[in-house]
Structure formats: structure tokens, C-alpha cells
């Protein structure tokens, strides 16, 4: 049986004879069903029409996106560490070329995902690299569309994935929204998914309950995120897709942006 993929958000569902009647992730107010209605595809069909593109953001950090753009247009990020490679966030397309390129760079040891909009084909990615673990925050367990024994739910505020690589729980966009802190002697980066959204000017950030439907979060959420980031120092912020990054001065930019947010809604 095929495992159908929602063409709007890119989420793959458990194998069934026919497509699901709806995509709960797109029916939720944080996402949307487009005017033409719900659409479905499969991984085989997607691989015939699309391919993955690669870009090095800095040494040992490589972004992978699908072209033409598919789903939400997010990027997966390949983080290369001495303890093994980590895939941060996920995209729907996993094909032979992608597998071979990643294997040539040492393969993958684990997958960690910021929130349900990027669960996509996470089980296919895990299986392609020998059944590696998929780290998801337990607060978002209800949104898992394709269960797998490879999914490892974690709880609490932080989870260490390796030396200098830590998952940070930043609830707001989703209850389990997460960022990844990558610490090195020379530089530290925060990979945020949609937990924090980099603004168009690339000098500010915001936090949204729904990005496409323009639903903000309240002051309590902003203060909570500020508290959870307290004591963390980072130079750069990498956003959910090509372009929205803050390179240099990111800690100050985040602090100023959260203060600006609170002032605007007070």
C-alpha cells in the first residue's frame, strides 16, 4: 500500500489503500487547505517531478531543499559533528541521489525535528539510513501521522544530542516547538525552524501561533520563550528556509525583537 503525502504541508501518512479523507495538520488553524482542496501524492511520484538542492551555510552545516518547492518549502539541515551527522528538520523528498550524497559525507546518526509541520517523510529518512532514531518532543505526539518504533519522544526543557548539540524546548508555535543549539569554540548557532521566525529585514525575529494565517502568540508566551533562552549565547540564527538567517549579533537581535513584540501588543 502507498504511504500518501499531503501536497500542501508535505506530511506522509501511514500506508493505506486510498488517500486519507483529510490532513489534520492542514485542517488545524496553524496551517490551511488551499482553495482547490486537499491533494495527495506519493514519494515515487514526487521523486519523478522534483529533486533536492544543496547549499553550504558554513563549514559542517548544509541545507537541503526540494526544487521545485514542495510543501511548506522548508529546508532540512545536515549538521556534521565528530560524533556523527544529525539531520535537523526534515523534507518530504528522499531519493537515491540524496541518500548517496549523505552516505559519502558519513551518513546520519539521528534526526531531530522542530515541530509537526516538518515531520514530512521522517520515517522514510530514518529507514534510508538504517533505522536511526527520530527525536520529537512528546508535547506534539498527537500530530504524528505515521507512527514508527524509531520515533523517540523526549520531555522537559532540553535534550543533549551530542557534544555541543542541544535541543531547546520553545513552546509557542506548537506545544512541543523546539530549536537546536549548536555550540563550537569559535561560534554558536541557534537553528529555530518555526519556533522563532526570522523577519524579512533579517535583523529581527517574531513568534507566531500561525505564520500563514497571521495569528500571533500572547505576551505570556513571549516572556516564557525569553526565559527559556536566558543564559544561552549564540552568534547566528538559521531560519526555516533559504534566506531568513541572522548572521552575527543574533542574541541581541532576538532580545530586542521580543522586547519590541511585547511593546507592540501591550
> What is the reported pTM?
0.96
CA atoms within 13 A on the CB side of 54: 12
- Residue 5 to residue 40: CA distance in whole angstroms: 5
- Determine the angle formed by the axes of helices 219-229 and 250-265, rounding to 10 degrees: 160
Q: Please state, as a whole number, how many other Cβ atoms lie within 10 Å of the Cβ of residue 13.
A: 18
Query: In a 3-state reduction of DSSP, which class is residue 258?
Result: helix
What are the tens digits of pLDDT across the range 170-204?
999 999 999 999 999 999 999 999 999 999 999 99
Give 222-250 pLDDT, tens digit per residue: 999 999 999 999 999 999 998 899 999 99
pLDDT band at residue 266 under the 50/70/90 scheme: confident
Sign of CA dihedral 41, 44, 48, 52: positive
Give the pLDDT confidence of 1-57 residue by residue, as tens digits. 999 999 999 999 999 999 999 999 999 999 999 999 999 999 999 999 999 999 999
Give the per-residue pLDDT at 243.
84
Domain-by-domain residue ranges, the chain?
A: 5-265
Task: Give the cell for residue 28.
Answer: 488545524
The H-or-E segment that residue 53 falls in is strand 51-58
Q: What is the DSSP letter of 125?
A: H
- Asked whether residue 127 carries a pLDDT value surpassing 90, the answer given is yes
Class of domain 5-265: alpha beta
CB-neighbour burial class of residue 180 (10 A; exposed 0-12, middle 13-18, buried 19+):
buried
Task: With residue 191 as reference, give the H or E element that holds it.
Answer: strand 188-191
The residues, ordered by sequence, that sit 6+ positions from 100 with a Cβ below 8 Å of its Cβ are none
Amino acid at each position: 500500500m502507498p504511504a500518501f503525502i499531503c501536497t500542501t504541508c508535505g506530511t506522509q501518512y501511514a500506508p493505506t489503500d486510498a488517500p486519507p479523507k483529510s490532513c489534520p495538520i492542514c485542517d488545524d488553524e496553524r496551517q490551511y487547505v488551499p482553495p482547490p482542496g486537499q491533494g495527495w501524492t506519493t514519494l515515487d511520484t514526487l521523486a519523478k517531478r522534483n529533486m533536492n538542492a544543496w547549499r553550504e551555510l558554513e563549514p559542517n552545516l548544509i541545507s537541503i531543499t526540494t526544487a521545485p518547492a514542495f510543501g511548506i518549502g522548508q529546508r532540512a539541515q545536515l549538521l556534521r559533528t565528530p560524533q556523527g551527522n544529525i539531520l535537523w528538520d526534515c523534507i518530504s523528498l528522499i531519493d537515491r541521489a540524496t541518500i548517496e550524497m549523505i552516505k559519502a559525507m558519513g551518513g546520519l546518526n539521528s534526526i531531530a525535528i522542530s515541530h509537526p509541520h516538518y515531520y514530512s517523510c521522517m520515517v522514510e529518512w530514518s529507514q534510508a539510513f538504517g533505522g536511526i532514531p527520530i527525536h520529537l518532543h512528546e508535547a506534539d505526539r498527537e500530530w504524528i501521522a505515521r507512527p514508527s518504533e524509531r520515533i523517540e519522544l523526549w520531555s522537559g526543557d532540553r535534550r543533549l544530542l551530542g557534544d555541543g548539540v542541544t535541543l531547546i524546548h520553545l513552546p509557542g508555535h506548537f506545544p512541543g516547538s523546539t530549536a537546536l543549539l549548536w555550540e563550537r569554540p569559535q561560534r554558536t548557532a541557534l537553528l529555530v525552524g518555526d519556533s522563532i521566525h526570522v523577519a524579512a529585514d533579517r535583523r529581527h525575529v517574531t513568534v507566531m501561533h500561525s505564520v500563514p494565517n497571521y495569528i500571533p502568540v500572547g505576551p505570556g508566551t513571549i516572556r516564557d520563550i525569553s526565559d527559556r533562552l536566558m543564559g544561552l549565547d549564540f552568534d547566528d540564527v538559521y531560519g526555516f528556509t533559504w534566506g531568513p538567517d541572522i548572521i552575527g549579533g543574533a542574541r541581541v537581535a532576538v532580545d530586542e525583537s521580543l522586547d519590541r513584540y511585547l511593546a507592540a501588543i501591550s
